[in-house]
Amino acid sequence: MIYDTLILGSGPAGLAAAIYTSRANLKTLIIGGDLPGGQLMLTTEVEDYPGFSKGIQGPELMKEMMEQAKKMGAELITGNATSVNFSQKPFTITSGDNKYKSRSVVIATGASAKWLNLESEKRLTGQGVSACAVCDGAFFKDKDIVVIGGGDTAMREAIFLTRYAKSVKVIHRRDKLRAFPILQDRAFENKKISFVWDTVTEEFLGEKTLEGVKVKNLKTGKTSTIKCQGAFVAIGHKPNTDFLKGHIKLDKKGYIITKDEVKTDVPGVFAAGDVHDIKYKQASTAAGSGTKAALEIDDFLENGST
């Protein structure tokens, strides 16, 4: 079977694209990843997605988008794309033991959490060290926790963790935050949250479980230990594009390089969402780029436009 379009990823970008391509009567297959719904499946309340004045839970929002895509006629399978062949048409996407062919492709594989790449971090991941507060926060009731980072992700994690933790220390390498002002305000107003400025984490301490973190002040050079039972790394994300190297143009950080917003250097292959969005990284902007990719596909398949 040859599909009209294959969509890699089932977050807001991929599902928005699927809704539009399916509605245009294009035979659409979504290769949804191991966790259909993307990163929003790991969040709690989403307050900034248009149309929900009272907010909506991340998993509920993604469930609704998946159901909408299916209702329009899109097919959805789990699993990740492991390799691609864009050198000839129809394009071929491999996922596990299966190969799928399509006249066009939308890459919406998103991004994954970055780690500090410390030996102690790897050793203690799952034993007090985590990158997902929603996944693991409940395990740290009445515990002292640190959150590493200073952007939106770090502030959301810190605020969420105050539901369970006795205290949350935010360790940030700069002297001011990079998060949206509303998130900063909430964090500063929360009595459980305090800040450790101009500081980096050098080591996670403990043999079998986390007992603390060794930190270094970048201005004084002084090292010290912060005792804690939980540490959440929230320093950003890395685009999920390793399987694309050598097949389309990527920048030095692995983000897909696009022109005209969503077009890659391969005609018929488009990018949507965090996989190419270095700046905005919002669910609503991801959905918007998925919509743009779908509209470009419709034009490409009809007119052979590049």
Q: How far apart are CA 32 and CA 49, in angstroms?
A: 21
144 part of the active site: no
- Give the chain's radius of gyration (CA, Å): 21
Alpha helices in the chain (DSSP H): 12-23, 58-72, 119-124, 133-136, 152-161, 181-189, 283-303
> Which listed residue (48, 135, 175, 299) is catalytic?
135
| Active-site annotation holds for 136 | yes
SS3 277: coil
Q: DSSP letters of 117-156? A: --HHHHHHBTTTEES-HHHHGGGGTT-EEEEE--SHHHHH
Question: What is d(CA 6, CA 32) in angstroms, rounded to the nearest whole number?
Answer: 10
135 is catalytic: yes
Q: Which of 4, 34, 97, 136 is catalytic?
A: 136
Omega before 50 within 30 of 0, i.e. cis: no
Distance between CA atoms of 83 and 282, rounded to whole angstroms? 27
**Which tokens go with 92?**
């071929």
* Torsion sign (Cα): 231, 236, 242, 246: negative
Select which of 132, 144, 198, 265 is catalytic.
Answer: 132
Sole residue written with tokens 């499946």: 41
HSE of 268, CA atoms in CB hemisphere, 13 A: 20
Q: Which residues belong to the active site?
A: 132, 135-136
